[in-house]
Amino acid sequence: MAGKALRGFFERLGNQVTSGVWQLGFAARFFGYMLLHSGTALRRFSLTIREIYFSGVLSLIIILVSGLFVGMVLGLQGYHTLERYGSSEALGVLVALSLVRELGPVVAGLLFASRAGSAITAEIGLMKATEQISAMEMMAVDPIARVVAPRFWGGVISMPLLAALFSAMGIFGGYLVGVKLIGVDEGAFWSQMQAAVDVREDILNGVLKSFVFGVAVSLIAVFEGYDAAPTAEGVSRATTRTVVTSSLAILALDFVLTALMFTGGTAT
Amino acid sequence: MNRSTIDLWVGIFVAAGLVALVFLALKVGNLASFSAAQTYDVTGDFTNIGGLKVRAPVKSAGVVVGRVTKISFDTVSRATPWPRS
């Protein structure tokens, strides 16, 4: 009896591991196939432009408003902490470094995943559920080249631009609260910021981060949509999975990238 | 939606994103101060560099004239800090 229960336990464990590995392999092959068949998306660039509109332009409002408020909160909180140590002029450094290095890419990525990633998954999943994907295959149109790849590239192109806009807006928000509202010296705010922020070390690494997040979120979104069970329930589950998985992926990748980028040798 | 309207908005979006990047590079990162003016290498020899870091500013009369490019340990003249037993 105990042997049977033990056997059942190991069978379930083995089943979970093999299906997990199978899923990962499917995702990797899907990614490779999509990259190989991206020619259409890049040659007929209007397809990709359409997707940049849906995932980038329509995310602008939420990104700009959140960036402004995050910067304003950073300005307020940072000022009260820095003032205690008599270095409130360093507010510009605090706002700029935390936005450019971490908050810009990460928060913009999380917003992008919930605003655009979920929409991409729902759209592709619904196309699959209503058999539009199969219909395309019947007409000898490759759905990965025609539907999936433009959405992927649209997301990859949009994400770094959105993160840069988020950071710029946040720094503007920090400037509004710090300089205009509280009255930190304007010259010190900008000059200390300019002295501390390095173009290659901080800004370029931040852009690189947001690019990596863009690839991760877009890949997860299109894959979950393509992999969704073709039912109403399957699409809703896939949409949830997209948001959860891409948020976790962003936070985990952020840790790895930060460890690689900002701890090596020359970082101040 | 109309094709040209989409193109217009995407154009505005990409331009705004690039402007934000340029703003970050110039106004926040102060890329403009890294001018391509003629410089020359100066090597210094110190017993202790304290907290000196690579890319720290080098100032002359208070004006930034360059950056520290490399810091290395002098193996010839300071190879043995204390006698070996």
pTM to 2 decimals? 0.82
CB A186 within 8 A of CB A85: no
Cα–Cα distance, B28 to A168 (Å, whole number): 9
The answer to whether residue A46 neighbours chain B at the CB level (below 8 Å) is yes
**ipTM for this prediction:** 0.78
Residues 6+ apart with CB under 8 A from A148: A34, A124, A222, A225, A226
One-letter identity of residue B56: A
Backbone phi and psi for residue B73, each to the nearest 5 degrees, phi listed first: -85, 135
The answer to whether residue A50 neighbours chain B at the CB level (below 8 Å) is yes
pLDDT of residue A265: 47
pLDDT of residue A268: 45
Question: Chain B: nearest CA to A167, how far in angstroms?
Answer: 8
pLDDT of residue A88: 85
Cβ of A199 within 8 Å of Cβ of B34? The answer is yes
Structure tokens at B20: 């934000």
User: B30: left (phi > 0), else alpha (psi -120 to 50), else beta?
Assistant: left
Residues 6+ apart with CB under 8 A from A66: A107, A111, A166
Question: Chain B: nearest CA to A211, how far in angstroms?
Answer: 13
Backbone phi and psi for residue B65, each to the nearest 5 degrees, phi listed first: -115, -10
CA angle A125, A126, A127 (to 5 degrees): 90
Q: Which residue in B10, B16, B29 is closest to A165 by CB distance?
A: B16
CB A108 within 8 A of CB A3: no
Mean pLDDT per 10-residue section of chain A, whose length is 268 residues: 86 92 92 89 86 92 95 93 88 92 94 94 93 91 90 94 95 93 88 84 91 95 92 93 94 93 60
Taking CA–CA distances from A53, the nearest residue in chain B reads B10
Per-residue pLDDT reduced to its tens digit, A226-262: 989 999 999 999 999 999 999 999 999 999 999 988 8
User: Alpha helix locations (H) across B1-53?
Assistant: 3-23
pLDDT of residue B82: 60
The answer to whether residue A57 neighbours chain B at the CB level (below 8 Å) is yes
The DSSP bridge partners found for residue B59 are: B64
- Going from the C-alpha of A80 to that of each of A174, A212, B44, B79, the distances in angstroms are 13, 34, 42, 49
One-letter identity of residue A144: I
Cα–Cα distance, B13 to A90 (Å, whole number): 32
Per-residue pLDDT reduced to its tens digit, A116-154: 999 999 999 999 999 999 999 999 988 998 899 999 999
**Largest Cα–Cα separation, chain A:** 78
85 residues of chain B, pLDDT tens digit each: 778 888 888 999 999 999 999 888 888 777 665 556 677 888 888 888 887 877 777 888 887 787 788 888 877 766 555 655 5
Cβ of B24 within 8 Å of Cβ of A195? The answer is no
Per-residue pLDDT reduced to its tens digit, B29-44: 776 655 566 778 888 8
CA angle A244, B13, A166 (to 5 degrees): 50
Q: Which residue in A167, A197, A266 is closest to B55 by CB distance?
A: A266
Cα–Cα distance, A100 to A207 (Å, whole number): 8
Cα–Cα distance, A96 to B23 (Å, whole number): 12
